[in-house]
Structure 1
């Protein structure tokens, strides 16, 4: 059984993906490191689920250390964005790397995400 990420708790590892959740004033930040694919997407879904109870107006996915994302991971990001929107929250990606940027561009998904170069920029965008 995979341990569930807790807001403000330690990072959780699932296969080749490490996920951590932090709640800051007004926003939840999910940080991922490693590879987001079919085998590890459950940990990311669990992290987003943890934030459903948090009183935040935005959810950010910090991708600085995400080295790989496949179509299963992209679908998880799209679901998280949709879920955030349905809850009246904004959803953004922070510092997606070249591989994720290419995946977003090729699939046309780049147009639906707010993308920030770093967390500091994302924090000041209200």
Structure 2
């Protein structure tokens, strides 16, 4: 019997039905690990991000910095933000750092309105306005 053809678009989480909505690429570097994320981070995909972050923190060992590139994230809701905040706490518990090296406009807006950007090493943007038109205080 002939085996079925290989899937031309493998995903990092082939067993997850919604795995095409989020992309995670892991890049070990000389100074730590970079996770490049793309797609949507919401209540349906946050568990995949959480698993990838957990593996990266475990594989990196203590004091190994973890950087996240979120420049290709098209959507992130409160579940995604909570996943990032929990990963930051796990990194702190391991005496490692977790920082955001790049963010999409959507993620930047979320971090600004929740005032969590500084927790990830990003300055708050004084030019951003909330939906009600008010400027954030630096």
1:64 Cα deviation after fit: 1.5
Instruction: Provide the residue aligned with 1:72 in structure 2.
Output: 79
Partners of 2:32 and 2:66 within 8 A in 1:
yes
Pairing 1:34–2:29 present: no
Structure 1 segments of 4 or more deviating over 4 A?
none
Partners of 2:11 and 2:20 within 8 A in 1:
no
Pairing 1:43–2:48 present: yes
Alpha-carbon distance between aligned partners in 2 of 1:73 and 1:45, rounded to the nearest angstrom? 9
Higher percent of residues as helix: 1
TM-score between both structures, scaled by the size of structure 1: 0.76
Secondary structure of 2:95's aligned partner: coil
Alpha-carbon distance between aligned partners in 2 of 1:115 and 1:47, rounded to the nearest angstrom? 22
Among 25, 28, 31, the alignment partner of 2:30 is 25
Higher percent of residues as strand: 1
Pair member with larger Rg: 2
TM-score between both structures, scaled by the size of structure 2: 0.70
Instruction: Provide the residue aligned with 1:94 in structure 2.
Output: 101
Moved more, 106-115 or 35-44: 106-115
CA deviation string 1:45-99 (max 9, x = no partner): 1111112132362001111211111000000010111111111111111211111
Secondary structure of 1:48's aligned partner: helix
RMSD across aligned C-alpha pairs, in angstroms?
A: 1.9
Aligned length: 107
Query: Gaps (5+ residues) in structure 2?
Result: 1-9, 14-18, 124-138
Query: Gaps (5+ residues) in structure 1?
Result: 1-9, 117-126
